[in-house]
Amino acid sequence: MSISFQILGKPDRDNALLVLIDSGQSQKRLLFDCGEGCLSELPVGEILNIDHLFFSHCHMDHISGFDAFFRCTFGRKSKPNVIWGPRGTKRIMQHRFQGFLWNLHTEMSGSWTVRDVLPGKIVSTRYELAEAFERAYDEGTTDFNQVILDEPEFTVSAFIMNHNTETLAFYVEEKQKVNVERNAVIQLGLKPGPWLQEVKDLTVEKAEVEVAGRTFRLDELRNEILTITGGETIAYLTDFLLDENTIGELVEKLTGCKKIVCEAQYKHADLALAQKNYHMTVKYSAMLAKAIDAEELILFHISSRYSKEDWADMLKEARNIFPNARFPVGWIESVR
């Protein structure tokens, strides 16, 4: 499996993150935020294949490109239409659904589910195209700790952060890859068979397992015949107040995350402005990447108040703390 990603939008405009998870047998596409113009870089077929849309929050620079997404997918039935966001997302999305004239809708079909992520619970609401999205159907409430989406190949976790409103930080993690060493199986005098599924299922917790009339300690057998490697990881962090206390809180949640896509809204010299607007400084973004021992920090969502010369200073400021920091490919090739 592998995770690849693309930063959407122009350097000094709205941005979004598209994540592709490729298991070798299937692909899943996750879109994080959808600002104005962000989808203009994607062909319609790519937009139609987006499986989930996650909003960090519903400020206009993060959702103003939704109409372009909705125009392609409003009647999509090839896969579920699911939107995730913080408290109040369902109300705002219903207004967006109804922001058009629907007069041919009664013969159309298409369901949309909006999931509001609240502290400790997820509230799901369904809307129907055939009803011009007029009714909100309660689809129930589920409890969660950190993981909001659990699929066979990956999980998505969400953390509620402070942007002077609730906003979500997201963490995508491929599940562990478990491979069977066939030669090790043969050396133990065993033959591959259905018993391997139980051994490979790391959620199975018991002391012993019986194979071909022989009894093995499960943990020892796994050590003998399995190779277990961690999956790839990426975090999407934008639009919340980041200080040393918040860094400490996020370290517990993100340690081991390999790639961080993180806003660089302000220079640290403008810390007072960052705090006033509940944003980050590039210094604190770099401090977080260093604290969780990330492999790479991708800085985006930069305030338009800064010039390209300022950007060079901001990148230098980040690299003084975390050397493997960069801007998205193609943004400002003259800045190194």
Chain segment 125-154, per-residue pLDDT in tens: 999 999 999 999 999 999 999 999 999 889
**Of all residues in the chain, what percent carry a pLDDT higher than 70?**
98
pLDDT at 123 over 90: yes
Whole-number average pLDDT of the chain: 91
Higher-confidence position of 181 and 111: 111
pLDDT of residue 225: 83
Kindly state the average pLDDT of the residues 197-223.
82
Give start and end residues of each alpha helix (H) in the chain. Answer: 44-48, 60-63, 66-73, 89-97, 182-187, 195-200, 218-225, 244-254, 271-276, 282-291, 308-321
Is 310 one of the catalytic residues?
A: no
Distance CA 336, CA 71 (A): 39
Q: Would you kindly state where each structural domain of the chain is located, as residue ranges?
A: 1-145, 177-229
Residues paired with 138 in a beta bridge: 125
CA dihedral over 313, 304, 280, 275, signed as positive or negative: positive
pLDDT for res 25: 78
Among 61, 67, 243, 313, the one annotated catalytic = 61
pLDDT band at 334 (very low <50, low <70, confident <90, very high): very low
Closest CA to 239 of 160, 186, 312, 315: 160
283-330 pLDDT, tens digit per residue, is: 999 999 999 999 999 999 998 899 888 999 999 999 999 999 999 988
Q: Which CATH number fits domain 1-145: 3.40.50.1980, 3.60.15.10, 3.40.50.300, 3.40.190.10?
A: 3.60.15.10
> Three-class SS of residue 26?
coil
pTM: predicted TM-score of the whole model, two decimal places: 0.87
Instruction: Using DSSP, state whether 172 is helix, strand or coil.
Output: strand
pLDDT in tens, 64-91: 999 999 999 999 988 999 999 999 999 9
Tell me: pLDDT of 333 over 70: no
Section 179-188 average pLDDT = 83
Give me the residue label for tokens 């909003």.
55
